[in-house]
Structure 1
Amino acid sequence: MAPDEFQQAWQAQSSQTRVTIDANLLRQVVEHDQLNFRATIFYRDFVEVGVALLLIPIWFLLGAVTDSPWTWYLTVPVLVWSAGFMLVYRMRHKQKPSEPGEPLLPCVKRLLTEVEDQIWLLRNIFWWYLLPPSISLMAFNVHVSWLAASVWWEFLGTAALFGFVLFVIYASIYYLNQRAVRVDLEPRRQELLTLLSSLGDETTGEGTGNQIPLPGLPFAKKELQVPCNSPVRITIGLFTIVVILVFLVIFIAWMADGGFDSSNDRPDAPANLVAELRQENQLVGLAAMVMVDGKVVAAVADGERKVGSGVTLETSDSWHLGGISKSITATMIARLVESGQMQWTDTIGESFPNASLHEDWKSVTLRQLLTDTAGAPALIPRDMLSKRPARGPERTRARREAVLDFIAVKPENPPGKKRVYSNVGYTIAGAMAEKMTGITWEDLVKREVAVPLKLRSVGFGPPKSAAATLEQPRGHRLLIQSKIAASDERDNTPIIGPAGTVHMTLYDLCTFAREHMLGERGEGKLLTAETYKLLHTPDLDNYACGWIKKEPSEEIPYTVYWHNGSNTLWYALVVFIPEKNMVVAVTSNDGDSKKAEAAAWEIVDASVKQSNIIALSQLSDEFPKKAPFAAVGWQESQPEVKLGEEWFKLVLLDGLPASEIVAFSKQTYGDKWQKRFEEDLVELLTRMGHPPQDKVTLDVQSLYSFERQVRKDVPMTKENRSAIRKAAQKRETSEP
């Protein structure tokens, strides 16, 4: 007989082989196998249900510390569903435990039922376990991508990337579960079916005594096994998971709080305070200016114009003001009222007599629009957000068309009965001013506010900043715990410009607020004292015409007038305190408005409380008259300094760019900026928030090459300052 024929004959004979095993021994094997299977399933269910329930509070915590949108919380009911489905499924398919002396047949049937239940559960895992969180997480992803994207392709790219990652993860989970069915559960099911069919011999008597024939059944070869998933192992596993999740919560809370702070003390120097607050709140940039008695006593900027660029912020940069634009619009309209071009009692019905407007809008007055008591909705419809009409007649026309749409429907609230913060109300007021004057809102702001107050930096929309040079800051948004720079076009639609699209420098913002402070004191120049009182007096609650009146409190025991603003990419706050003759402006190029606002108010509190900031303007005669160089020359605005017998271009002084020092001197001292730089350098640096020590570090460049040197521990001496002063006096006497 050939080998192949012999092998076939042997296999045919072996297929007829019948193995006989003791029934009691087989029952023990089946019972132990059932116990082992139940322990494994229980451990898996326990972990899945436990993790789902533990994730619910963690999900709420993550949402709170990251300021996530509402779609983040869609996953909470999904977690409840996952845990609830598993519990209900197990309760409905629960098998009663084996009883002592029970026949083998029902024991095998129960085990087979449990295996088939688990096979169904894993084969359908996509529908009950993977699909629900996929929907909630993708909804959150699409929502966040939509809010963060500047252009459509950025939205699609971000959403597609997250969707791909989610697909890979869930595809892997699905594959592993189907493999478990194929490799483990299906073979086990076939074994049980084979055993079940062979147990007919147990009832028909084909077996002998307690001997049961098992044709080719793997159970015949098994030894008794102890279940591998004991209660002790389950307890240890769950404890481990709980410990990991607790540490995860602690880590998340720590990161959200900016890490552990070794000290609760705040440094006195404004520069250090701003730098610390920026880092503590994880902001891209933070800047502040304090003006007392019309003089800048502190000006600080810390951070980058664009995240990761290495280009540092300067106090002379321009900042998007958001809702602070409302006070500017109200001021412009007040000028029109005083000139007789408008009246506070002008109504929407009178301004748009031919419009198809709802009856409730007809009697709404200009003042009600400016005090947010007109019943106007808070926000414009989403379909308007993407409109970008060009400045000029096209934008005016688009704004008027939007206003006509607003007033065609009933106000959201009864006019004059309730205050609701509204961008729409100020947009309507701006359109009324355009209608009455025939001039665009932007040109009215320039003519009535910027030019009279010499606010040279006033512009509209984000400050222009080319990617190659970054001459101005960029706004930033938070995307999955990362700061993403926006383009210099990204902003609210200019249709709502009267409510929130003005930009300007800190100095100009302080100048504008100071004019209102002087007006409140009866010393304003732009408007009459009566008009300023009207602008600063709330109608309902504490909101006036673009200003919020805050009564004295424990933190600030003075009446405070303030307003803030954010377009979700920038933040700005301006405060004036008439009793202290003080103005504080704080800005950030970071759209994390919650953290930026917390930092801003802390700066305001510190500015009020710290006498070394407030009193600087009274100490001008007490500043040391010192300088680190013996002479100063100029190439336009570039200072050249003499160290020993050599002349150099001054690049940095204690890490502060010379250009920033010069810019601050120009803002603060006007035509005397050079004199202040040369003769009062200590005062100048102190007012900037960088008080120098007895020794400074100078970064200088040769006048004849690009070679740079760092001179450390350069002494600040009276002799140097005296030499500079004598040279200045000599120049002054020699001039005709």
Structure 2
Amino acid sequence: MAPDEFQQAWQAQSAQTRVTIDADLLRQEVQRNQLNFRATIFYRDFGEVLIALLLIPVWFILGARTSSPWTWYLTVPVLIWMAGFMLVYRMRHRQKPNEPDEPLLHCVQRSLTEVEDQIWLLRNIFWWYLLPPSISILVFFAHVSWLSRSGGWLPALISFAGLAGFLLALYGLIYFLNQRAVRLQLEPRRQELLTLLSSLGDETTDDGTGKQIPLPGLPFAEKRLQSSSASPARLIIVLTIVILFLGFMIFKIQRGDEYPKISPFAAVRWQESQPEVKLGEEWFKLIALDGLLASEIVEFSKQTYGDKWQKRFEEDLVELLTRMGHPPKDKVTLEVQSLDSSEKQIRKDVPMTKENRAAIRRAAQQREHSAP
């Protein structure tokens, strides 16, 4: 017999080889592997949901402590969405617990369903996990860059482009790592389960409840099912915090002590959203400052600083006007109206002084101390 004929005979004999395995032992192995897979996924999901929920109060505290713009808070509904989506998805795809006498075929089918659910989750991670925070973070970066445009449009655009580029590169890497986990960990596991399921369907008629099962080419004969490691998606939350911290530090640097603490008003008081200012010893209703309507200044302060809009108007007027794109000079023009009549006045070359701002600050501190 020629060598080629010997080789063909050997391959034919190998193709007819049957591996006989005890059904109970194989079922126990599948169930044990299934429990390990469930535990890995559960603890990973639990950690991600817990971190997302804990970040919500942290977000509010950081925003209040640092007087962040309103776009900072766009990430809060994103965190709620991420945690909620994970919980709802797991509830809708919850599997029944294993039973000791459950048929082997059912165990394999259930394991296959769980693996396919996880594959779907990671393959679509861009839509439910990456895209929502990307939008909120990019909006925050754009807003910060817009507020810093007083230093020039080009530096503001460069700042936004750098932050946005870093964010997109980072999320691109995270997406790649998740797809790699699907390709190298979950897909091989799925193929092994499909092979086992096909073998059971071809060789048994009793759902694998017999004591001995002959399985041709069984993929588990020489190796155990691989346990899927935790997805790198958990890094998303940690790295998102780092990104936001970088953007926030830039914002803090830009709004630091570079703005002079000066004011043209000796004092400020309020009639709802209408500022009344003191010039010398007389009170007036403020109509405009350097051509900017007082109502526009107040509205911008509300949108930018939230609950601290009055404080910023009174104590950080230079910064407020600068962020509006109208940095004031050492002297400003005020349009005011008498409180006793409809008479309006134009006060030109009103000096912006540190003494005025210091007096406003002292008055604010006295109100804070006297408040119940």
TM-score, normalization: structure 1? 0.36
Alpha-carbon distance change, 139 to 224 in structure 1, aligned in 2, over 3 angstroms: closer
Deviation at 1:127, TM superposition (A): 0.3
Distance in 2, matches of 1:151 and 1:2, equals: 85
Match in the other structure for 2:262: 321
Deviation at 1:175, TM superposition (A): 1.1
Match in the other structure for 2:165: 164
Task: State how 1:26-105 maps to structure 2 within 5 Å.
Answer: 26-105=26-105
Distance in 1, matches of 2:64 and 2:351, equals: 22
- Name the SS of the counterpart of 1:379 in structure 2: helix
Match in the other structure for 2:355: 574
Distance in 2, matches of 1:206 and 1:284, equals: 75
Deviation at 1:58, TM superposition (A): 1.3
Distance in 2, matches of 1:57 and 1:5, equals: 75
Deviation at 1:88, TM superposition (A): 0.2
- Name the SS of the counterpart of 2:165 in structure 1: helix
Match in the other structure for 1:153: 154
Alpha-carbon distance change, 381 to 223 in structure 1, aligned in 2, over 3 angstroms: closer
- Name the SS of the counterpart of 2:73 in structure 1: helix
More moved, 134-143 vs 92-101: 92-101
Deviation at 1:215, TM superposition (A): 2.3
Match in the other structure for 1:194: 195
Does residue 378 in structure 1 map to residue 295 in structure 2?
yes
Alpha-carbon distance change, 3 to 109 in structure 1, aligned in 2, over 3 angstroms: same
Match of 1:502 among 330, 346, 370: 330
Does residue 173 in structure 1 map to residue 174 in structure 2?
yes
2:106/2:207 contact within 8 Å kept:
no
Match in the other structure for 2:304: none
Deviation at 1:165, TM superposition (A): 1.1
- Name the SS of the counterpart of 1:21 in structure 2: strand
Alpha-carbon distance change, 175 to 2 in structure 1, aligned in 2, over 3 angstroms: farther
Distance in 2, matches of 1:137 and 1:92, equals: 30
Alpha-carbon distance change, 87 to 63 in structure 1, aligned in 2, over 3 angstroms: same
Deviation at 1:209, TM superposition (A): 5.4
- Name the SS of the counterpart of 1:213 in structure 2: strand
- Name the SS of the counterpart of 2:296 in structure 1: coil
1:492/1:501 contact within 8 Å kept:
no
Alpha-carbon distance change, 24 to 331 in structure 1, aligned in 2, over 3 angstroms: closer
Alpha-carbon distance change, 223 to 564 in structure 1, aligned in 2, over 3 angstroms: farther
Distance in 2, matches of 1:322 and 1:97, equals: 69
Distance in 2, matches of 1:377 and 1:58, equals: 34
Distance in 2, matches of 1:65 and 1:210, equals: 68
Q: Give deviations 1:533-574, integer Å, cap 9, x for gaps.
A: xx9x9769xxxx99xxxxxxxxxxxxxxxx998xxxxxx653
Distance in 1, matches of 2:83 and 2:71, equals: 20
Match in the other structure for 2:123: 123
Deviation at 1:53, TM superposition (A): 0.7
Distance in 1, matches of 2:58 and 2:85, equals: 20
1:19/1:213 contact within 8 Å kept:
yes
Partner amino acid, structure 2, of 1:195? L
Deviation at 1:67, TM superposition (A): 1.5
Deviation at 1:32, TM superposition (A): 0.4
Higher helix share: 2
1:321/1:564 contact within 8 Å kept:
no
- Name the SS of the counterpart of 2:220 in structure 1: helix
Deviation at 1:192, TM superposition (A): 0.7
Q: Give deviations 1:685-711, integer Å, cap 9, x for gaps.
A: xxxxxxxxxxxxxxxxxxxxxxxxxxx
Distance in 2, matches of 1:35 and 1:118, equals: 15
> What is the Cα-based RMSD across aligned positions, in Å?
5.0
Partner amino acid, structure 2, of 1:166? L
Deviation at 1:77, TM superposition (A): 0.4
Distance in 1, matches of 2:298 and 2:358, equals: 30
- Name the SS of the counterpart of 1:101 in structure 2: coil
- Name the SS of the counterpart of 1:157 in structure 2: helix
2:30/2:107 contact within 8 Å kept:
yes
Percent identity between matched residues is: 56
Distance in 2, matches of 1:198 and 1:61, equals: 58
2:23/2:212 contact within 8 Å kept:
yes
Partner amino acid, structure 2, of 1:502? D
How many pairs align? 308
Distance in 1, matches of 2:325 and 2:66, equals: 26
2:199/2:218 contact within 8 Å kept:
no
Distance in 2, matches of 1:206 and 1:371, equals: 84
Alpha-carbon distance change, 369 to 604 in structure 1, aligned in 2, over 3 angstroms: closer
